[in-house]
Amino acid sequence: MRSGHPRRLAAIALATAWAAFHIPGTAQQLPEVHGNFSADGQYYNDDPDIGAVPPPQQWGFNAWGNVVMTMGRFQAGLRLESYEPSLLGYPAGTPYKGSGIGYRYINYHQADLDITVGNFFEQFGQGMVFRSYEERYLGVDNAMDGVRVKYRPLPGLYLKGVMGRMRLAFDDGTVKGEGLVRGADAELSISELDSAWSHNWNLILGGSFVSKYQTAASQLVTQPDGSVAQLEMPANVGAWAGRINFTSPRWNVYAEYAYKINDPNRRNNYIYKPGQGLLVNATYSTRGLGISVGAHSYDNMLYQSARNAPTPFDLNINFLPPLTKQHTYNLPATLYPYATQPNGEVSYQGEVFYKFKKGTPLGGKYGTKIALNGSTAVGLDTTGVDLLTDSARTGYRSSLFAGNYDIDGKYFTDLNVELRKRVSETWELALTYLYFEYDIDVIQGKPGKPLVFADMVVLEGLHNFNDRTSLRFEVQHLWTKQDLGNWATAVAELTFSPHWFVAAQDQYNYETFGSTFIKDGKEVPAERTHYPIGSVGYIRGGNRFQVNYGRQRAGIFCVGGVCRQVPAANGLTVSITSTF
């Protein structure tokens, strides 16, 4: 971090944002109104060759608009949403339908106090015991509905308290989960305690406690021998976390530990074992060089505010940060993306960015950038405890960072290197190689699917014809003997700054090695398949209008280690977004 730490930086940035909305103290203070709008409509064609089945309405439509009114120390916000019906594969968890109010709040803030009533998003530390957040285009939204108070009793000490219920789904308005979530967080930033602080390093300490409440109930569970046991579910389930962060101009070292008391739920087979997690990362950087290493281990840390939540994407109280790199090139990003395994994983990551300076042998005339990244995730090495004889019903024995390094414990490996270089005044090239090992069975929850070994190469080029007109292209290839076999992808994007772009893409699954897919309800051998798609976009200020037509491959769409499956589709998509 070049200056300060994320918490404080976010606060500064927010203050800047608020300042932007305020008319400085005039005699008559007028409210300011801002907002945004987003709509995505898709008309679906029937396309059995890729397994695309249109919904009965023939189309999908997701839209929402936010209005935020600010006056002095007060702010109020409202979001209306409409899913008539929702796009195929949207959202990640329990379905959304109908139109209505999705989010509303009132807020009062002054220098040291901030109170919100209604909906809000909040995160403690990196989120290991509490994170309420949204990724609207992914269909993730676990907004709280209740009360939040943030208070700074003295410079450098930040206190937060939250209470409320989380958004589960949408049915002509937000549908909330049953469980009540309550939490408190304290953070101490040493360098802010004394305004005379002259060191350029800082130490930040934080601690959180969160508890969920759901009516106590009996749960019938099928035992390994086929008998049925009646278990008593706890009403209150608490979790706590502690964190430490050291920052200096070159270093940033962060560690967070979280612990959750017994939380029997549908996804851990109603065991009473406590959950825990530890994450550590360290970065060192200076001009032209950046190094990052990280490790984490999570054990039984899925923490949902309903013990029988319909899907793993619903009502998550916490967020377990991923270590794996989120790729942006289409094939690695959507065929084999990793998703954090909250019930048990050990993961390591290392990354180096380096720039060979201009005028050096490897830097040449314009400099050369290299990025090396590697990450791996394995399951925990567990020893089962017999559920029939163990009255505590702990399920298994395990230790953090004791991974299962056998082939059946391997979840994911990603080794990649990228070289990026401006080769002339008008050309820039990037070459990337990636190697993946990917367990579809565990990561996508598809039992019987193989461990995939894949190699990928991507060449990207950017050519500037003049100040305003550019062509960007990508050529991608993926080799694997497993799953769907080999893929080739080409992308071309012509841009006319600042308003227009035209893009075309084709993905070609040209060597299928006997893989199968579902056509008209039957499993048939996969054939060579093209997935062409074209786009035209117009951007003006804060408004964007885009039209796509073509085939979309069934795949996975991820943000921050959280993923949703997108079914195959063929059709016309129209998108409008606006910020005002």
Partner 1 sequence: MARVAPYVNGQDWDYEFFLDPNGDLKRALNVNNIPHTFLVNGKGEIVYQHNNYEPGDENELYQKVKQAAGK
Q: By CB under 8 A, what part of segment 470-489 binds partner 1?
A: 470, 472
Site for partner 1 in 30-49 (CB under 8 A): 34-38
Site for partner 1 in 51-90 (CB under 8 A): 66, 68
Nearest to 430 by CA among 445, 440, 413, 418: 418
219 part of the interface to partner 1, by CB under 8 A:
no
Which residues have CB under 8 Å from 62's CB, separation 6+?
A: 38, 39, 40, 41, 82, 83, 86, 87, 90
151 part of the interface to partner 1, by CB under 8 A:
no
283 vs 308 by CB, closer to partner 1: 283
Three-class DSSP category at 103:
strand
Give, in order, the Cα–Cα distances in Å from 563 to each of 64, 102, 313, 339.
21, 22, 9, 6
Site for partner 1 in 123-142 (CB under 8 A): 123, 126, 131, 133-134, 136-137
190 vs 370 by CB, closer to partner 1: 370
Distance CA 347, CA 412 (A): 9
For the bound state, the minimum distance from the C-beta of residue 93 to partner 1, rounded and expressed in Å, comes to: 19
9 vs 524 by CB, closer to partner 1: 9
248 part of the interface to partner 1, by CB under 8 A:
no
Strands (E), 214-250: 217-222, 228-233, 236-247
Q: What is the DSSP string of 423-465?
A: -SSSEEEEEEEEEEEEEHHHHS--TTPPEEEEEEEEEEEEEES
70 vs 94 by CB, closer to partner 1: 70
Site for partner 1 in 403-442 (CB under 8 A): none
Site for partner 1 in 514-543 (CB under 8 A): 537, 539, 541-543
401 part of the interface to partner 1, by CB under 8 A:
no
252 part of the interface to partner 1, by CB under 8 A:
yes
For the bound state, the minimum distance from the C-beta of residue 370 to partner 1, rounded and expressed in Å, comes to: 9
Binding mask 321-340 for partner 1 (x = CB under 8 A): x-------------------
Question: Residue 392: exposed, middle, or buried by beta-carbon count in 10 A (0-12, 13-18, 19+)?
Answer: exposed
For the bound state, the minimum distance from the C-beta of residue 355 to partner 1, rounded and expressed in Å, comes to: 5
Instruction: Return phi, psi of residue 193, to 5°.
Output: -65, -35
544 part of the interface to partner 1, by CB under 8 A:
yes
For the bound state, the minimum distance from the C-beta of residue 106 to partner 1, rounded and expressed in Å, comes to: 15
* Contact range with partner 1 by CB under 8 A, out of 6-14, 260-268, 383-391, 436-444: 6-14
Number of other CB atoms surrounding residue 465 within 10 Å: 11
Distance CA 78, CA 35 (A): 9
110 part of the interface to partner 1, by CB under 8 A:
no
366 part of the interface to partner 1, by CB under 8 A:
no
* Contact range with partner 1 by CB under 8 A, out of 166-174, 204-212, 223-231, 460-468: 460-468
* Contact range with partner 1 by CB under 8 A, out of 80-88, 207-215, 260-268, 349-357: 349-357
Contact between 567 and 89 (Cβ < 8 Å): yes
161 part of the interface to partner 1, by CB under 8 A:
no
Nearest to 100 by CA among 69, 63, 151: 63
For the bound state, the minimum distance from the C-beta of residue 351 to partner 1, rounded and expressed in Å, comes to: 6
18 part of the interface to partner 1, by CB under 8 A:
yes
1 part of the interface to partner 1, by CB under 8 A:
yes
Size of site (CB under 8 A) for partner 1:
79
Distance CA 490, CA 310 (A): 39
Half-sphere exposure of 172 (CA within 13 A, CB side): 0
287 part of the interface to partner 1, by CB under 8 A:
yes
Number of other CB atoms surrounding residue 121 within 10 Å: 15
Query: Which stretch of DSSP H or E encloses residue 10?
Result: helix 6-21
For the bound state, the minimum distance from the C-beta of residue 23 to partner 1, rounded and expressed in Å, comes to: 9
Distance CA 98, CA 81 (A): 8
Nearest to 545 by CA among 123, 151, 37, 29: 37
